Amino acid sequence: MAPNELFQYSIVTALMDGVAESGLPLSDLLPRGDFGLGTFRHMVGEMIVLDGVIYQMKADGSVTSFGRDQLNTTVTPFAMVTHFRPTLSTKVTVKSKGDFGKLLTDLMPQAKNIFSSIRLEGKFKAVVVRTVGGQQHPGEKLSKLAESQVAHSFEDVQGSIVGFRSPSYMQGISVAGDHLHFISADRRQGGHLLELQTDGEAELAIAAIRIIHTELPTSDDFIQATLQTDSEGITKAES
Ligand SMILES: [Zn+2]
């Protein structure tokens, strides 16, 4: 795939419906992009892909990366990746996640109806993340899991925020609006981003995405799922 094209495996609505039994091997994901996010089989933890390395951030607070031999045997039921080549870089001070959203809109007003990839690098006064603990039984819905998610707060931490802004008309296929994951510079802390505050200026890099490749699962659970968009549920669970 060319730089700044998006590859997505499955759709968020499938996760909402609990379709997470099988998926794409990580060895097939990485060639499509070295930057992005997603989840793992049975929705155990949060995925962040940064500089070509895939990390799994679990509810117990642990973070692990995958060696070459593990990439074939580990699958993702949902992921979004790109070969990120920033088209805009600037320094920003961010007070909150809401503030970050407004700042992104101001910086790229032309990007409302296309995708954007986002990387924010720097020191953070505060970061709050959540990590999904994983399904207790096959087919358990993400909307249910989100109720028992674990939140972690970090203070004075160096790290990276990675993610995408998706247009509102993509709700259900991806997460409309900003979907961001965080990992600390020492790669020991992270998760799905709920809140942030930078410590002074941080380095923001953005790219516009207009070409989207989506691969849909062929598994029975996907074929048989209801897959009706639950916009409110997605916003609650994922944004
Ligand atoms: Zn997430």
Cα 126 to middle of ligand 1, angstroms: 18
**Region 92-112: what's the mean pLDDT?**
94
Q: List pLDDT tens digits, range 126-144.
A: 999 999 989 999 899 988 8
Quick check: 5 pLDDT over 80? Answer: yes
CA-angle at 116, arms to 113 and 118, nearest 5°: 150
Question: Assign residue 175 a region: left if phi > 0, alpha if psi is -120 to 50, beta otherwise?
Answer: beta
Q: Is the dihedral of CA 209, 173, 118, 36 positive or negative?
A: negative
Query: Residue 40's domain spans which residues?
Result: 5-238
Q: How far is residue 213's CA from residue 50's CA, in Å, rounded to a whole number? A: 20
Cα 79 to middle of ligand 1, angstroms: 10
Cα 239 to middle of ligand 1, angstroms: 7
- pLDDT band at 222; cut points 50, 70, 90: very high
CA 166 to centroid of chain Cα atoms: 11
State the pLDDT at residue 180. Answer: 98
Q: Which residues surround ligand 1, an ion (CB under 5 A)?
A: 192
Residue 29: which CATH number?
3.30.1330.80
Tokens 């953005």 -> residue? 206
Domain total in the chain: 1
Cα 46 to middle of ligand 1, angstroms: 6
Cα 62 to middle of ligand 1, angstroms: 16
Cα 97 to middle of ligand 1, angstroms: 14
Q: Is 181 helix (H, G, I), strand (E, B) or coil?
A: strand
State the pLDDT at residue 229. Answer: 87
Cα 38 to middle of ligand 1, angstroms: 6
Ranking 150-154, 157-161, 204-208 by mean pLDDT, the lowest is 150-154
